[in-house]
Amino acid sequence: MSLYTTQDEKKKAAAEAALKHLPRGGILGVGTGSTVNFLIDLLPQLQLEAAVASSTATAERLQKLGIEVIDMNHVGGLDAYVDGADEIDRHMHMIKGGGAALTREKIVASIAKKFVCIVDDSKWVGQLGREFPLPVEVIPMARSAVARKLVALGGDPVYREGVVTDNGNVILDVFNLNILDALEIEKTINNIPGVVTNGIFALNKADIAIVATDNGIEERIAE
């Protein structure tokens, strides 16, 4: 028996449990996606000074709730960044970018002292990339060239048709990559000319994962 009847209930529970890990009254970095949307709805409780958003969708949702969204160029650093993930493992390495916001997510996360990841347990995996393809944001003119390099790395890239990122770029979703060393693969793919960034978050991993399981909330840190 599960405490929750739907995946959305788990996402909401993870969002609620994250609140105590986030600063009150400061400036918060806010991720993108359906799990974070549950958190955004709770943010008025934290009486934030402002937020830095990882996407236009998140910015709009924050503003609708009266939360000021500021340009990251006007912020020296953040106490915390909160976001979901498509996959996360016991090292706190993640795959992100299912919502095509990976580049801005990685940028905002990079200036935060703490990355709080909120997920339901369907996102918890033994090895990244076996189920969920790795999103790679690519400058449009380099799409085919980057795809060939990804094939040479052993992956099967698929162009995400009809999707343009907030930065005006395209997404390749890479299936069948053997992500045994997430740090190395993150660096290798980011070094391909034309790649803006890839969805492995290992260089900048989560500090804590709030995982909603059938038995309730578990707080996990890197093993």
CA distances from 126 to 87, 117, 180 (A): 9, 17, 10
Stretch that binds ligand 5RP, among 19-27, 32-40, 73-81, 139-147 (CB under 6 A): 32-40
181, amino acid identity:
D
Stretch that binds ligand 5RP, among 26-34, 144-152, 164-172, 214-222 (CB under 6 A): 26-34
Comparison of 151 and 203: residue with beta carbon closer to ligand 5RP? 203
Is residue 99 part of the contact set for ligand 5RP (CB under 6 A)?
A: yes
Is residue 34 part of the contact set for ligand 5RP (CB under 6 A)?
A: yes
Residue 170, token pair as written in the block: 């395209």
Residue with tokens 């340009």: 71
> Do 203 and 93 contact (CB within 8 A), yes or no?
no
DSSP string, 131-148: SSPEEEEE-GGGHHHHHH
Stretch that binds ligand 5RP, among 13-21, 93-101, 141-149, 159-167 (CB under 6 A): 93-101
Catalytic residue among 16, 60, 68, 105: 105
Stretch that binds ligand 5RP, among 13-21, 66-74, 83-91, 180-188 (CB under 6 A): 83-91
Of the candidates 79, 114, 83, 112, the residue with the CA atom closest to the CA atom of residue 96: 83
d(CA 202, CA 95): 9
Classify burial at 22, counting beta carbons within 10 Å of its beta carbon; exposed 0-12, middle 13-18, buried 19 or more: buried
Tell which one of 13, 17, 59, 85 touches ligand 5RP (CB under 6 A): 85
Establish whether 9 is a catalytic residue.
Answer: no
**φ, ψ for residue 204 (rounded to 5)?**
-125, 85
Minimum Å gap between C-beta 100 and ligand 5RP is 6
Minimum Å gap between C-beta 119 and ligand 5RP is 7
Is residue 125 part of the contact set for ligand 5RP (CB under 6 A)?
A: no
> Do 22 and 46 contact (CB within 8 A), yes or no?
yes
Comparison of 25 and 168: residue with beta carbon closer to ligand 5RP? 168
Minimum Å gap between C-beta 57 and ligand 5RP is 9
d(CA 207, CA 209): 7
Where on the chain is the footprint of ligand 5RP (CB under 6 A)?
31-35, 83-86, 96-102, 105
